[in-house]
Each structure stands twice: as C-alpha cells, then as structure tokens.
Amino acid sequence: MIFDRKSASKSTNYTNQNNPIMLKMVTSYSIFLLTILFLFVVIYHFSLNNTRDSYNSQNETTLVNNVELFETDLHIMEVYCRQLLQNNSYRKIMNKKETDNAFFELGTELQSTMATDIYLESLLPIKDSFSYFPLTNYILNANQFITQERFYSSIQKYPADHEKDWISYHMDSNYHNRFLLFENFSALPGTEWDFYMYIINMRDLFYMDANATVSFIFDSDEFAKLFDCINAEGNGFLMVVAEDGIPILSINEGNSYDEASIISMDYSNGFASYEGRNKITIGKYVSDNTGYSYYYSFPSFENTANTESLRYIFILALLLTLLVGGSLVYYFSRRNIQPIIELGQELHEAVEAQTQLQEVVDSQRPIICTSYIQQLLSGSVTAEEADYIHNYLNLGEKNIYYNVLYVVVYNNSGDNPDAIVNTLSSPDEINELISNALQSYLGTPLHYFSPAERTYSILLCCSEEEEKDYILKISNAISRLHDYMLDTYDIWLFAGIGRNTDSLMNVWESYQQATEATSYMSKNYFFFPYEFIKKDSKAFYYPPEISTKLIHFITTGNKSQVLELFNLIHQENIEERSLPINILKFLLSDIRNTLLKARFALPSSIPAETIQNLDERFNQHVTFKLCEKIAMTLCDLFTVETEDTNLIATIEKYIVSNYMDPSMGLNKISDEFQISESYFSHMFKEKTGVNFSTYLENIRMNEAAKLIKETNISLNELYISVGYNNANTFRRAFKKTYGVTPSSMREGK
C-alpha cells in the first residue's frame, strides 16, 4: 500500500499555518490539568471513605465475634433441653395431669439429678433455669420442686400484680425463643433486679406431645457484657430480629430507640447513619447460622476520627498541582505544537490505511462466502463452524430450512456448446451474466459457488411457513429464468433441487440429491426435484461420494453426521426402494468395506484388546444396525476425550451429592475446589442466576418435601437428613418455601 508523502507534507505545512491549533493545544492541556485536579479530589474522598470502611469493618468484626458466642449460648440451651427430653422420668412428669405420689417421686428424683449437674451453669452466663409444667402448675429446677405460686411469690419474690403476665409468657408461643426483659422485678422494697428470661417450648424439640417449657434467667448487666458495641459512651444499643421480623432481643444503654425506624433504614452497604442525641452509625449483620438480623450501634467515624490533617495535606497538594499544571500548560503549548501536528497527520494516514484495508476486506467477502458455501456443501464443517457460517452469511433466524439448487447452463445452438454467448469475450463476463440473472429471479443475497464450468450450486433458505410450498416457488422462478435466458441469450438452463433440511450441517445431502436430480434433465424437464425420482428397487443407493463422506465423518469423530448418513442410506434403500435380500447384501457388504477402511486407519495407540473386540464384530452377521454400531465405536476411538472443565457444573454435582452435610457453605466449596469465596460466589450467581445459599436451600427443601411425601421419616430427624443442625432454622426455611410447616404438609393441610 503506497501513500502520497508529498501530499502529506503539504498538508502538514498548511496545518502549521493555522493559528487555531494553539488554542486547541491550550484547551487540551487545560482539560488535562482539570482532570488531575479532579483526581486529587477523588483520591481524597476515596482515602476518607476507605478509612471509614475500615473503621466500620472493625466494629462489624467485633460484633460478629460476639454473635458467635451468643449463638453458641442459644445452641447450648437447645442442647440442654434436648438432653432433658432424653430423660424418661422427665418425659413422664411433663405430661402428668395429676399430682399423685408417682408425680412427687419423679419430681424428687429429677431434682436430685439436676442438683448434681453443673454442666449448664459452667457453659452459660445464667443466674437460674427451671422447667414449668402447665398441666400440674409445678416448677422444677436443681433447688426446688414446688408449685408455681410458691416459686413466684415465696422463692423469687416477684411482684404479685405481674403474676398473670408471667404465667402467660410461658403459655403463649409468641413469647417463646425471645429474650424478655424484666426491669426492677422484685416485690421487696429497695431491691432492684433487671433480668432477661428466655423460654423454650419443649414441643418445638420433640416429635410427640410435650407439655413443658424451660426458662433461662440472665442478669441484664452480665448479659450485656456479651456485646462490646453496647458499651460505647453509654449510647449503644443492640437489637436482634428473627427472620419473621419479630425482635427477640433488645439491649439499650442510656437511650431508647425507635425499633421500626431502625429496621426500615437503608442498609445497602451494611451500615446506615442515625441522627439522635449524638450522631451514631448503625450496622446490620445477618447470621448465616440462624438467619437472625443484628442491628447494632457505634460512634460515627466523623465523631472519632481526626480528618483535619488529611484535609490540609490534600489542599496543599491541590494548590501545588494547580501551580505546576499551569506552568506545564504554557510550556508545552509553546514548545510542542509541531509534534502534535505531525502526530495528527500520522493519525490521518492511519485512518486512510484502515479505510483502504476495509475496502480490501470487503472486496474479498464474496470469495470468503463462496469458500464457506463450498465447505457446507462438502460436509466438512463442525457444529460450531456451521453456527459461525450461519451468522457470517446472515442467513436469518435459526428456525429456517435449507436446500441446494444445482444449475447447469449451455448453448442452445451451434457446434461449440462451450461458447455460450458469442458477444461475451471472457468467462468472467459469462459468470457475471449468469449470477445477475440468478439474483434477479431467486433474490439477493445469492450464496453460491461454481464446482465446475457452467455449473452453479446455490444455497437456498426459507422460513417454516414457506417450507411446504418452497420447491413449487423455486420451480416457478426457474421456469421464468429459463425462458428469459433462452429468449435473450439463447442459453439453455436446467436445474435440480434436493430435499429441504432444517440443519445447516446436513445441507450436503441436499447438494448430493440436487446433482443426482440433474441427471434426469431433458428437453421436457428443465427443473427436476429429487423427490420426483423413481427409485429402482433393483439397484441400491451408495455412491462413492457417500462412502468418502462416511470415512471422513468417522475419522473426525463426527457422530451426528455419521448418524445422518446412515439415516440417508436407510431411507434411500430400505424405505424408498425396498431392496430385495440379495441386493441388500451387496449394499451391506459395501458399507462393511467402507468401515474396514476406517478401521485400518485407526491410530497405533489404540489398545490391542480394543482392536480385537472390534474385529470380532466385523466377523458377525452383517446387518444395517451392526454397521451403524461399528461406525459409532470407530467414532469413539477416533475422538480425543477431553476433561470436563466446566467448574460450575462440577461444583453443582458436588453440592447435589453433599447437600446433607451441615458444614456445606462457601468456605467448604472454597477449600474443596481451591478458589476464593468471593470469586466463587460471584461466578456462581452469574452462571446459575441465584445465590449459592438460595441454590443450596432449594435443594434441601426439595429433598425435605420428597422425604415427607414418600417416606415415614420422623419430623424430628427430617432436618438432620437434609443438612440442618437447627430445627427452628429448618422449620422457618420450610415454611418460607412452601407456606406450610412440615407437619402440615404430611397431614395434607
């Protein structure tokens, strides 16, 4: 490619004389300077935000550590209750309705057992724990086995006017699994005791009827020490909200807060600002273990961090940048005008070169299209290549049908049939004449190639609606084209067309059929569809081209095309010709010989035992189905197996096989497949459309519903079987998914 350098030089000299270039340069450098100043501002805000995020993350880390201890205590309380349910005496006494001698004997026995058990007090920061049996109105713990009235009034000395409320807390399920705050709850003057009571209903833990509750008493001051965040300058608070939106714990220090407002705040980045007596930051953390939402406060970053020094540093840097940048604008504007102009000229030349290159590419497009058509009609493309060719040729929607029209032209008069038109001096002019005529009657764009002189193989496309009458439509177009060429140029034109196919990879069949159809042309038939050929039952259909293609498809491991070839051979010979047995034997013998050629082309690396097994099949009685199976086996041997590198598919299989593991989570996947949790989470959501936790929960819920409907598994064992270690968490997830509890689903409600 040659450029006119003299013209370029003149253009450069001309540009040098334009004064506006100076203004453009000054403008460019000024924009650069403003960009630098903007970057300084962005860096300042980024640093400030980064420091704030780090501060917030530290507070969140503290909260997470506290939550782990808190939820461990919840788990210990649940385990303790389950241990009580394992005691046969406890199960008997909780369902007794009469206070007879047996009742008192069981109670005394349990009290003695509980008095020697210090397991609970050593693991939990509790002041007391007791069981309440509503059927007999009795209280049981390590120190007493007495009636509820004596326990409430004489032992604990609680206010008499709150006794009914205290009892209702044990009876009403709305108060269970919540930390109930009792402030100044004492009947003795001058005695103030604030405590939390946490009640667990045994019915939630036992598959049979359980008439008992277990209460745990926590001193409010000692309990608040579990959470570091609430001790921040006397203004901190902590609120724990269950998945159903009901607060189960609230700890305030010095202030009262609007719980509804706190829950409804925007926590898109995990934190929000709250304007009260003092500006504080409120964080939200959702536990993966229990699903509880933790709302906690801590002093805002602005109230604790000194940002003045950082602000002064950035202001100084901004002023220095402005001073230096202004000097650079003046210096480079005066010095570097000429290099900028030359650079602009070179860019102009590059654009011209690109334009010329694009013109060359466009000029070569017909050649590329012809090459693609030739590959399609020869059957030498893969599925991926066929899709690419479909898009490159812009063949339209995928739901279309394809066919091939094979056209032959020759001179209608004269001794030399090759001299088609005397007025045309070259083959290129003749091809252009035929191409223009074909486009006029068959439409554009016309995708074709010429396999030989005076022959044209044309790829045709039609929609699903047009497919039924498409051959008739082409017949009319060829009839009009034939008359036009005969009357105008004295050229005789005839054409054959194959069957329609919905696969671009199988269009070579239509090409073979179209070429065979042209063998039936005569003065009376200048257009002949392959379907009109009367099949001779005394001769089988197995041309050399089919044998060659079969060997090619086998050695490339193209199973789909091999099956398509066998379908074609079967249709032509068995369905349409109904070959007699002696002719069919000749056909099967030829197919077997073709397969033998492929067998002796196998790589030497194939194991000898495999080759021996294959040869034994060749010695079996030859049938059409046997030939097809041997061809498939040969395809497998020629195919190079590759490992499945689809990581997400592999992980999905792993999850389906291990969903019942309670430890299944992001960290488990990270360790198993050696990828980071954040990368896996992002990749999994992008590939599957759902979060990992949602995907895992859906699998577990589907399996749980299946077990309920198809087996008699105990509901107390169900949640363990599907990977949960907490019955409440499983029950909430199940009801969120199906709208009913597991027991209701089993009863068919």
Q: Tokens representing 116?
A: 């020697």
Which of the two residues, 148 and 674, has the higher pLDDT score? 148
Question: What is the pLDDT at residue 134?
Answer: 94
Give yes or no for residue 153 having a pLDDT over 80. Answer: yes
Handedness of CA 574, 578, 579, 580 (dihedral sign): positive
Confidence of residue 644 (pLDDT cuts 50, 70, 90): very low
Give yes or no for residue 112 having a pLDDT over 90. Answer: no
- Secondary element (H or E) of residue 621: none
Specify whether the backbone of 414 is left (phi greater than 0), alpha (psi in -120 to 50) or beta. Answer: left
In 56-137 the beta strands, taken as DSSP E runs, fall at 128-133
Q: Tokens representing 600?
A: 């002796």
Q: Which of 144, 145, 212, 216 is nearest to 180 (CA)?
A: 216
Residues 6+ apart with CB under 8 A from 77: 124, 198, 200, 214, 216
Cis status of the peptide bond prior to 445, with omega within 30 of 0: yes
CA angle, residues 596, 542, 611, in degrees to nearest 5: 15
Confidence of residue 127 (pLDDT cuts 50, 70, 90): confident
Which of the two residues, 410 and 371, has the higher pLDDT score? 371
> With 0-12 CB in 10 A as exposed, 13-18 as middle and 19+ as buried, what is 679?
exposed
The amino acid present at 652, given as its one-letter code, is E
Give yes or no for residue 412 having a pLDDT over 70. Answer: no
Any idea what DSSP says for residue 134? Answer: T
CA distances to 303, 309, 313, 319 from 44, in Å: 19, 12, 9, 14
Q: What is the mean pLDDT of the chain?
A: 81
Alpha helix (H) residue ranges in 379-418: 383-392
Query: Quick check: 737 and 701 in contact, CB under 8 A?
Result: yes
Average pLDDT rounded to a whole number, residues 626-637:
88
User: Which residues pair with residue 411 across a beta bridge?
Assistant: 491
Average pLDDT rounded to a whole number, residues 609-627:
84
Any idea what DSSP says for residue 152? Answer: I
Residues 6+ apart with CB under 8 A from 44: 310, 311, 314
Give yes or no for residue 180 having a pLDDT over 60. Answer: yes
Rounded to a whole number of angstroms, the CA Rg of the chain reads 43
> With 0-12 CB in 10 A as exposed, 13-18 as middle and 19+ as buried, what is 203?
middle
Average pLDDT rounded to a whole number, residues 351-378:
82
As a whole number of angstroms, the distance between CA 377 and CA 504 comes to: 9
- Range of 135-139, 334-338, 562-566, 745-749 with top mean pLDDT: 135-139
Average pLDDT rounded to a whole number, residues 73-86:
90
- Secondary element (H or E) of residue 159: none
| Fold for the domain defined by 366-532 | Alpha-Beta Plaits (3.30.70)
Least confident of 294-298, 482-486, 533-537, 682-686: 533-537
Average pLDDT rounded to a whole number, residues 629-653:
72
Average pLDDT rounded to a whole number, residues 241-258:
80
Average pLDDT rounded to a whole number, residues 262-269:
85
Give yes or no for residue 13 having a pLDDT over 60. Answer: no
Question: What is the pLDDT at residue 382?
Answer: 78
Q: What is the largest CA-CA distance in the chain?
A: 135
Give yes or no for residue 563 having a pLDDT over 80. Answer: yes
Q: Tokens representing 83?
A: 């241990």
As a whole number of angstroms, the distance between CA 55 and CA 58 comes to: 5
> With 0-12 CB in 10 A as exposed, 13-18 as middle and 19+ as buried, what is 605?
exposed
Q: How many beta carbons lie within 10 A of that of residue 36, not counting itself?
A: 15
Q: Tokens representing 596?
A: 């033998």
pTM flag (> 0.75)? no
Cross-sheet strand order for the sheet of 271-275: 247-252, 237-241, 293-299, 279-286, 271-275
Query: Quick check: 369 and 349 in contact, CB under 8 A?
Result: no
- Secondary element (H or E) of residue 436: helix 427-442
Question: What is the pLDDT at residue 176?
Answer: 92
The amino acid present at 629, given as its one-letter code, is K
Question: What is the pLDDT at residue 435?
Answer: 84
Give yes or no for residue 214 having a pLDDT over 90. Answer: yes
User: Which residues pair with residue 448 across a beta bridge?
Assistant: 458
Average pLDDT rounded to a whole number, residues 465-474:
85
Question: What is the pLDDT at residue 410?
Answer: 74
Question: What is the pLDDT at residue 506?
Answer: 84
Question: What is the pLDDT at residue 169?
Answer: 92
Query: Quick check: 461 and 395 in contact, CB under 8 A?
Result: yes
The amino acid present at 355, given as its one-letter code, is T
As a whole number of angstroms, the distance between CA 232 and CA 253 comes to: 9
CA atoms within 13 A on the CB side of 570: 11
Question: What is the pLDDT at residue 378?
Answer: 81
What is the percent of the chain where pLDDT is above 70?
87
Q: Tokens representing 390?
A: 């479909």
- 3 state DSSP class of 366: helix
State whether CATH 1.10.10.60 applies to domain 647-747. yes
What is the percent of the chain where pLDDT is above 90?
11
CA distances to 106, 107, 524, 558 from 101, in Å: 9, 10, 117, 86
Average pLDDT rounded to a whole number, residues 211-229:
85
Give yes or no for residue 306 having a pLDDT over 50. Answer: yes
What would the DSSP string read from start to end of 371-388?
HHHHHHHHT---HHHHHH
Q: How many beta carbons lie within 10 A of that of residue 26, not counting itself?
A: 15
As a whole number of angstroms, the distance between CA 463 and CA 448 comes to: 19
Give yes or no for residue 10 having a pLDDT over 70. Answer: no
The amino acid present at 168, given as its one-letter code, is S
Q: What is the 3-state secondary structure (H, E, C) of 674-692?
A: CCCHHHHHHHHHHHHCCCH
Give yes or no for residue 501 having a pLDDT over 80. Answer: yes
